[in-house]
Amino acid sequence: MSSYATAIHRQPWRLGVIAALTIACVHSARAAELPTLDCVIEPYEVVEVSSAAEGVIEKIHVERNELVTKDQVLAELESDVEKASLAFAHLNASLDTDIGLRRASLDFDERNSTRIKELYAKKAIPLHHKDEADTDAAKSKWLLTKAEDDKRLAALELVRAKAVVRRKTVRSPIDGVVTARHRSTGEYIEDQAIVTVAQLHPLRVEVIAPVELFGTIESGMSAKIFPELVSSGIHRATVVSVDRFIDGASGTFDVRLELPNPEYKIPSGLKCQVEFDDAAVEPVLETAAGPAPPASSEATDSNVALSIADIQPDELAAQDVTCNAVGPLANEAEVERVTKALRPLATRIKPAQQLETVIESYLVAAPLQATTAGTVAIQGQILGHNISGTELITDGEFQGQISFGSYPDKTLAERRRLDLQKLGFQVDLKPRLHQQPRIWLHVETADRELSEIHLLQAVASVHPAKDIDIAPCGYPSAGDGLALKK
């Protein structure tokens, strides 16, 4: 036995060292033998964006070659009918008249039932009177429950109406560049694409490799990309996908790499060449002080894509957060109560204050007359019917019209208008608006399955009769519409 073999026999640990070094040499030789291959740089994703609803295009907000961000509005469809339905649902959800009537009726029937029971206990009235009073009280209780159920159904209908309006707004599903605009304002669409958006960060590099290299190219390997446009420079990409099957006809398989392009300096569509290195399996020699540093500084190149481990947990959470605006709230006390109710569902709640247009009251007034004689004729008609509470408005939005009264409740205003129409008056119902500060809560949730209904139910636990509007943060309806007030 040679001295070399004897040394190995006496010190078996040398076998592990020699084996490791042998494997390292094989990997290095394999990496050096990988040839330069042709490739193509393509967009990471191309989306032909269409609308979830059919209709006539009212406006397209972007042009070709324009940079867009995810959720940016690309186009809007005509939605006058849907917005009218939303306004109706908003008003219907804000009305508490039926609940008030049913509650008053229940209070009366319960008091009456108590009186009847006292009389019956004194044997002053027969049993059927007591039974009738108890039945009336029970019916009133159920009618109040039905009115409250109708209120909740109206809130859900408001959510549905807002969803219908949102379907008329086309938003970008990705960050990218508009590569084509297929439609124009005024065109009717059903399932056709309106614009095409391409994601250019990161880029996708497609390589067709010969069968001889199958098994030598693995996911995670690093490679240098040499675009045919020399001014684009040399960049580093990472293998993200290797086909597990071979195309028998051509004797090739596909390899896909991911190429970071944060500043959009690398154009897509370029031909290129790729040189693979074996960074993913490069051996690391252990020393007493721990692993040795990497031999090459190329791994710290600014063009190398970050891995999941490089991203902080907060950044990961921010990529999967849903934000809804909840409001409007009138004061800090309401904010505190609603925040407390929503806190178990949210990762963060942030208040935001803004001015909001509010319906203060409803004006019952005759239409503005074209001549003074017309106004005088209406005043004479008022005197003939001996109607009180009227006046000629001398300033403001309704100047020159004859007012028959202003009412905080729309139901009362409608009743006044109908009574006047029966007397032969032509009158209109006009909302009086004013600006008032309102507070909205931007509620961020990490659970994408959490719906607006869950948020409404949480708010209802502290505001059972409160009109609450819920819309995505930044959406126009979140505070830009009318807050309908009793």
- pLDDT tens string 191-239: 899 999 999 999 999 999 999 999 899 999 999 999 988 777 889 999 9
Q: Cα-flanking dihedrals φ and ψ of residue 50, to 5°?
A: -125, -175
Digit-coded pLDDT (tens) for 313-330: 344 344 467 788 887 787
Q: Biggest alpha carbon distance in the chain?
A: 135
Digit-coded pLDDT (tens) for 107-133: 999 999 999 999 999 888 999 998 999
d(CA 485, CA 250): 72
Q: Which of 442, 225, 469 is nearest to 346 (CA)?
A: 442
- Look at residue 369 in the predicted model and tell me its pLDDT: 86
Per DSSP bridges, beta strands 322-329 and 469-472 are: antiparallel
**Mean pLDDT across the chain, nearest whole number?**
79
In eight-state DSSP terms, residue 157 is: H
> How many residues are recorded in the chain?
486
The one-letter amino acid code at 261 reads N
pTM, whole model, 2 decimals?
Answer: 0.47
Do residues 50 and 194 touch, judged by C-beta distance below 8 A? yes
> For residue 30, with 0-12 CB atoms within 10 Å meaning exposed, 13-18 middle and 19 or more buried, which class applies?
middle
Do residues 359 and 482 touch, judged by C-beta distance below 8 A? yes
The residues near 251 (Cβ < 8 Å, ≥ 6 apart) are 210, 211
Q: What is the CA radius of gyration of the chain?
A: 37
* Start-to-end CA span in the chain (Å): 104
**Tokens at residue 189, please?**
């669409």
Q: Is 301 helix (H, G, I), strand (E, B) or coil?
A: coil
**Tokens at residue 212, please?**
């001889």
In eight-state DSSP terms, residue 311 is: S
- Look at residue 200 in the predicted model and tell me its pLDDT: 93
- The number of CA neighbours under 13 Å toward the Cβ of 45 is 11
Low-confidence ranges of the chain (pLDDT < 70): 1-33, 278-320, 354-358, 435, 447-452, 463-467, 474-486
Q: Which of 363, 485, 360 is nearest to 413 (CA)?
A: 363
